[in-house]
C-alpha cells in the first residue's frame, strides 16, 4: 500500500524574487533526506504543496525525517479520494471515526478549494461534512474556536482528506543563507544556537575545543552526540574537534587568573575564525546570551570578538535560560546537554573572573601570550566527525 504525505512550506510565501530558489532548495533537501530512507519513494511539488508517495513500511522513517525538516510549517499523512462531494464527505466521516477512536471529543472541518470548478464552496463543504460527521459519530462535537483536532479537506488536482496534522520545524530551507561556524560546547545553549541559525537557512559546521586529559573522553563524546542530534535538522554537520590543552595551560600559567576566561574565549574565537575561513564559513555562531555568565557581559562579549573580521552571530543573545531550555527540549538536545561531563575543567575557571573587561587590556594580555603557534598546532591536528 502507498501512503501520501502532504507538506506545507513555511515562510516561502514571504520571499518574493527568491521564492524559486528557496523552493528548489527545499525540494532538494527533501530528496536527499528521503534517499536515505529507501527506494520507491516519489515526490511532487504543485501549487505550493509538496507531496510524498511512499510504501507504507517507510511510514515511521518518513515521519522522523519530516519532524526534522526545516522549511515546512506542517505536514500530515493524507488519504486521496475521488473528487466529488459524496466521496469527500465519506472520507471525512472515516476521519471522524478515527478521531473518536483516538479519544478526540471536539473537532472542526477546514476546507480549501484551489480547484474552483468543484461545485461546493469551501464553506458549503465544511457545513455538509461537519453535519455528516456528527450524524455518523454522535459523541463528536463541533467546536469552531478550540477544537481538539481538525479534519482538513483540500480540493486540488486531487481531493485530499486528513486529520492529525503535525506542526513542522518552520524556518527557511537549510542551504539558502550561506555557511556558518558554530562554536559547540557540551552545554545547553550552543546546540540551540546552531538549530536557530539553521532555521534561518544557514548550513552549519561546528568546532569544539576540549582540554583532554583535563576534560574527559565522555565530554567529547557528548559533544559528538549533540552535533549528531542537531545535524539531523541541519542537513548534516561537520564537527571539527581540537585539543586546546596547551593553549589553556599557557593562558593559566602566564595571564592574571581573573582574565583567563576572556582570554580563552578570545583564543577559541581566533581558532574558530581561522578554521571558518578555510571552509568558506561566512560567520561564527555562539550560544552566548547577554549577562548569563561573567564572560557574557556586553564589555566581555566586545573583548572576545575584538580581534575578528568575521561577524559573530549570537541568536540567543536576548533569550532567558528558561526559553533556551524549552527550545533544547523541543529539538531533543536537552537530555544529552545535562549529562554531567564538563567541557571545561574548574582548574581553568577563576573564582572571581573579570566582569567588565576593557578591550585595550584584553588585547594587551592576549598579545603577550603569543598563542599563534599553539593555535596553529591545534588547528593542524584536528579530528573531524561528519
Ligand atoms: P553553553 O550551554 O553553550 O555551554 P554556557 O552558558 O556554558 O553555554 P559559556 O561556557 O560561557 O556559556 O560559553 C559561551 C559560548 O562559547 C558557548 O555557547 C559556545 O558557543 C562557546 N563555547 C564555550 N566553550 C566551548 C568549547 N569548549 N568549544 C567550543 N565552543 C565553546
Ligand atoms: Mg559551556
pTM of the model: 0.91
| Residue minimizing CA distance to atom 20 of ligand 1 | 286
Q: Can you spell out the DSSP letters for 232-301?
A: TTTT--EEEEEE-HHHHHHHHHHS-GGGHHHHHHHHHHHHHHHHHHHTT--EEE----TTSSGGGSHHHH
CB of 194 shorter than 6 A to ligand 1: no
Residue 213: how many other CB atoms lie within 10 Å:
9
Give the position, in ligand 1's atom list, of the atom nearest the Cα of 210. Answer: 27
**Cell 467546536, residue?**
143
CB of 348 shorter than 6 A to ligand 1: no
Ligand in closest contact with the CA of 295: 1
> Ligand 1, residues 180, 184, 187, 260: which to mutate, most atoms within 8 A of Cβ?
187
Asked if 257 and 349 touch (Cβ cutoff 8 Å), the reply is no
Question: Using N-to-C axis directions, what is the helix angle for 245-254 and 260-278, rounded to 10°?
Answer: 150
Number of H helices, E strands in the chain: 13, 15
Structural domains of the chain sorted by starting position, each given as residue range(s) with its CATH number in brackets: 2-167 (3.30.2130.30), 179-385 (3.40.50.620)
Dist. CA 99–CA 91, nearest whole Å: 13
| Residue minimizing CA distance to atom 14 of ligand 1 | 288
pLDDT in tens, the chain (386 residues): 788 999 999 987 666 778 888 999 999 999 999 999 988 899 998 878 899 999 889 999 999 999 999 999 999 999 888 899 999 999 999 999 999 999 999 999 999 998 889 999 999 999 999 999 999 999 999 999 999 999 999 998 889 999 988 999 999 999 999 999 999 999 999 999 999 999 999 999 999 999 999 888 999 999 999 999 999 999 999 999 999 999 999 999 999 999 999 999 999 999 999 999 999 999 999 999 999 888 899 999 999 999 999 999 999 999 999 999 999 999 999 999 999 887 765 667 888 999 999 999 999 999 999 999 999 999 999 999 99
Amino acid at each position: 500500500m502507498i501512503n501520501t504525505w502532504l507538506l506545507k512550506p513555511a515562510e516561502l510565501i514571504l520571499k518574493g524574487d527568491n521564492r524559486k530558489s528557496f523552493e528548489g532548495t527545499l525540494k532538494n533537501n527533501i530528496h536527499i533526506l528521503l534517499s536515505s530512507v529507501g527506494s520507491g519513494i516519489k515526490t511532487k511539488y504543485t501549487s505550493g504543496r509538496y507531496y510524498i508517495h511512499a510504501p507504507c513500511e517507510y511510514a515511521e522513517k518518513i515521519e522522523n525525517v519530516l519532524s526534522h525538516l526545516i522549511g515546512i510549517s506542517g505536514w500530515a499523512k493524507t488519504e486521496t479520494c475521488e473528487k466529488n462531494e459524496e466521496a469527500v464527505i465519506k472520507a471525512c466521516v472515516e476521519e471522524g471515526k478515527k478521531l473518536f477512536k483516538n479519544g478526540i471529543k471536539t473537532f472542526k472541518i477546514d476546507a480549501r478549494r484551489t480547484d474552483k470548478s468543484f461545485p461546493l464552496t469551501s464553506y458549503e463543504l465544511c457545513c455538509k461534512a461537519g453535519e455528516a460527521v456528527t450524524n455518523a459519530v454522535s459523541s463528536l462535537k463541533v467546536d469552531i474556536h478550540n477544537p481538539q483536532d481538525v479534519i482538513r479537506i483540500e480540493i486540488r488536482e486531487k481531493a485530499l482528506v486528513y486529520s492529525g496534522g503535525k506542526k513542522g520545524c518552520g524556518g527557511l530551507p537549510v542551504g539558502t543563507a550561506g555557511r556558518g561556524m558554530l562554536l559547540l560546547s557540551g552545554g545547553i545553549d550552543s546546540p540551540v544556537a546552531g538549530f536557530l541559525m539553521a532555521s534561518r537557512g544557514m548550513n552549519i559546521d561546528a568546532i569544539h575545543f576540549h582540554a583532554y586529559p583535563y576534560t574527559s573522553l565522555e565530554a567529547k563524546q557528548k559533544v559528538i552526540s549533540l552535533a549528531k542530534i542537531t545535524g539531523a535538522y541541519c542537513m548534516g554537520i561537520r564537527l571539527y574537534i581540537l585539543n586546546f590543552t596547551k593553549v589553556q595551560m599557557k593562558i593559566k600559567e602566564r595571564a592574571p587568573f581573573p582574565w583567563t576566561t576572556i582570554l580563552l574565549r578570545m583564543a577559541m574565537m581566533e581558532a574558530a575564525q581561522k578554521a571558518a575561513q578555510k571552509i568558506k564559513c561566512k560567520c561564527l555562531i555562539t550560544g552566548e546570551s547577554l549577562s548569563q555568565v561573567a564572560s557574557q557581559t556586553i564589555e566581555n562579549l566586545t573583548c572576545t570578538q575584538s580581534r575578528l573580521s568575521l561577524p559573530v552571530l549570537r541568536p540567543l543573545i536576548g533569550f532567558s535560560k528558561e526559553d533556551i531550555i524549552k527550545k533544547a527540549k523541543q529539538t531533543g538536545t536537552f537530555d544529552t546537554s545535562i549529562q554531567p561531563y564538563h567541557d571545561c575543567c574548574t582548574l581553568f575557571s577563576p573564582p572571581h573572573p573579570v566582569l567588565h573587561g576593557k578591550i585595550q587590556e584584553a588585547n594587551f594580555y592576549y598579545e603577550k601570550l603569543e598563542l599563534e603557534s599553539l593555535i596553529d598546532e591545534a588547528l593542524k591536528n584536528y579530528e573531524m566527525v561528519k
